[in-house]
């Protein structure tokens, strides 16, 4: 097993043990409600960030569609102008 993987696993184990000790300390002080509150707020924040990213993506897609529609509209207007010019040329 590569050295980096062993090192990463050891770091994860150390962090897990530290987290367990910290949670035990919080509970012994009667502050576990604070942990639940923070976790709930963190989850809400993730949901808000996810919704914001989806909204930004939809806005970008909408903007691209609007630009494409404007180009098509300009092309149609130019084509209409050509048709009008040809009609006038036939009358003369």
**DSSP one-letter code for 30:** T
> What pLDDT score was predicted for residue 72?
94
* pLDDT per position as a tens digit, 15-44: 999 999 999 999 999 998 988 999 999 999
* pLDDT per position as a tens digit, 68-85: 999 999 999 999 998 888
In this structure, which long-range contacts are made by residues 28-33, counting pairs with CB atoms below 8 Å and at least 24 apart in sequence? none
Residue 59, domain extent:
3-91
Residues whose CB falls within 8 Å of the CB of residue 23, separated by 6 or more in sequence, listed in order = 32, 35
- The pTM for the full model equals 0.55
| Number of domains the chain is built from | 1
Interior/surface letters 61-76, b for 16+ CB within 10 angstroms, e for the rest:
eeeeeeeeeeeeeeee
């Amino acid at each position: 097993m590569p050295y980096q993987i062993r090192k990463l696993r050891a770091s994860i184990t150390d962090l897990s043990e530290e987290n367990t000790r910290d949670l035990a300390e919080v509970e012994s002080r009667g502050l576990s409600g604070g942990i639940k509150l923070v976790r709930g707020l963190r989850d809400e924040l993730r949901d808000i960030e996810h919704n914001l990213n989806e909204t930004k993506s939809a806005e970008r897609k909408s903007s691209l569609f609007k630009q494409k529609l404007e180009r098509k509209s300009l092309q149609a207007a130019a084509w209409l102008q050509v048709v009008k010019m040809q009609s006038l040329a036939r009358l003369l």
